[in-house]
A and B are shown apart, each in its own frame.
Chain A
């Protein structure tokens, strides 16, 4: 059985300038799991993709709020949820198709593909009142030299 051993939540406006703040904050929170550089980059990249989706697609015409909750579990895993109250994703399957984007040529359409391959679990819930993306990753225990 896994227990929650720490958690945090943050809420910020869906301004593009906040994307770096969001990915860096979650990455710093995740460092207490003692991840290696690759693992921390995976988390940072996946969070950046999810937050970018919310800033670009959830609130195309206005500024809304994005909430991130992160939980650290006793089995050395982290669960991160990125939630917005935007317009929602019409067709989740289509949104997950590599290279599909409604963001024009300024976006690559690879966001969900990257979230899926960089994290252990990805789940997406969306309706007309918003989208919640949940990311999960287990951090492998590090071998400490000499022990």
Chain B
């Protein structure tokens, strides 16, 4: 699992690549929070195009970013692979987190 970030216009885009399970999720949460602490005002985009596997740990990662951003800025998840979308669809997360 790799986490990268890039400033794109008014957004900070976080890219996840590889497999995201419980083992990987802990570090990803810490890193994502560190990125959000540096870029305090930008809207946040999570790009999942390079994700090769994801279980319910991905939901916890998204909830963490959602809680961190919901009062102050926009948060969008984009380029979700179909296998990850299937995990999200099983849960209620699509109702309150924005997927593009």
Contact = CB atoms under 8 A, between A and B. Distances in A.
A55 B26 CA distance: 14
Contact of B22 (A45, A52, A114): A52
Interface residues of A, number: 28
Contacts, number: 76
Interface stretch (A13-21, A74-82, A127-135): A13-21
Contacts of B92: 98-99
Interface in B54-75: 54-57, 59-60, 63-64, 67
Interface of A: 16-17, 19-20, 23, 37-38, 41-42, 44-45, 48-49, 52, 55-56, 98-99, 105-108, 110-111, 113-114, 117-118
Interface of B: 19, 21-23, 25-26, 29, 53-57, 59-60, 63-64, 67, 82-83, 86-87, 90-92
